[in-house]
Amino acid sequence: MPKQIQPKADLNTFYTRVKRTLPIYTVKEVSGGFECEVQLAAVEGEEHQNGYSEKTFKGQIVKKKKDAMQAAAAAAHAFVTTTQVYQDCKPYVASLWETTKKILSDAGLRRETELEGVVALAQSRQEGWAPTQHLTLTRALRSWFQEHSPGIPATALCMAQHLRDQLPALQKPEDEEIELSTDGQKVRRKRTYLGKGQGENQGHGLRLFMETLETGTGRQFKAVRIPADIGQAVEEVLFEGGVGYWSSLAQGLQCSPQDMLMVGKVGKIVAIPLASGQQPPPDSNQPIYIAAFVIIEG
């Protein structure tokens, strides 16, 4: 059974997700008890649409300060949940199939950097088919499991198995957005994902990203190898970084550079010193640190 939504907590979750200032509550004592006012920061939707400006809401007068805050939160929450930007940012809907579609939509991939890279790689080398298990990289899917299937262990292995078991029975052959392989092992978009830029061909963004990593200076690096078969062990690999960082990494992992994907914000640190004469990006210190896993396809 889905858990009951708490307005104050849900507002904080939403504002954290859209990276805006959390709601500010001001409680004052009035005749008959306490009254609370909550200020909401403006929120922009995708491409500056479907958002809303700054808002202020008041709750009912109640006997306790805590209840006054909850009343104000409920009033604000009633408004926010009717907006399109809130619906677009919800990490899940009740249907697992619809959640999968939402994750693989253009807006979903722009929010899920890890899966965006997987989809781009699949389009360039595998006719768009990506392993279903890679959906477990997304925060949206993990949130769905917490909300609608709390009895399933929150591990990639268990979540991936549940996807393979359930999605084949839920898929809609007439669906215009995504399709699933008959065994549930792979999923793909029916329309090519063009990335964040305009007019990019598939794989272009990945190639540019790979080129930016050619900054190794001969030091030793540590990477993480994640096999495509999630039943195999994840392992750390040490290698010597040469002039071509990406090629050196591929050699250390004993695979082709075309079989690799660098995924940011996952948890392991790879140090990439700047090449001689190269200027560091704004607001960064040498060396550059990238939190990354390396995913091996196939």
Which CATH number is correct for 7-88, 2.40.50, 1.10.3470, 3.40.50, 3.30.160?
3.30.160
The whole-number pLDDT of residue 91 equals: 60
pLDDT tens digits along 124-152: 667 888 888 778 878 888 888 887 888 88
- Pairing type for strands 288-296 and 260-272 reads antiparallel
Length of the chain: 298
In percent, how much of the chain has pLDDT > 70? 60
Residue 24: Cβ within 10 Å count: 11
Per DSSP, helices labelled H in the chain are 7-17, 65-80, 84-89, 96-104, 106-111, 113-125, 139-148, 156-170, 204-212, 245-253
In percent, how much of the chain has pLDDT > 90? 24
Mean of the per-residue pLDDT values of the chain? 71
Q: Which residues pair with 52 in a beta bridge?
A: 43
Task: Give the pLDDT mean for 1-18.
Answer: 81
The whole-number pLDDT of residue 86 equals: 87
Task: Give the pLDDT mean for 260-283.
Answer: 39
Residue 192's identity, in one-letter code, is T
More confident residue, 255 or 219: 255
Report domain 96-189's class. mainly alpha
pLDDT tens digits along 69-106: 999 999 999 999 999 888 877 766 778 998 999 899 98
Give the count of alpha carbons within 13 A of 168, CB side only: 11
pLDDT tens digits along 10-69: 999 889 888 889 999 999 999 999 999 999 999 987 655 678 999 999 999 999 999 999
| Backbone conformation region of residue 73, classed left if phi is above 0, alpha if psi is from -120 to 50, else beta | alpha
Whether 79 and 55 have beta carbons less than 8 Å apart is answered as yes
The C-alpha atoms of residue 106 and residue 193 are separated, in whole angstroms, by: 7
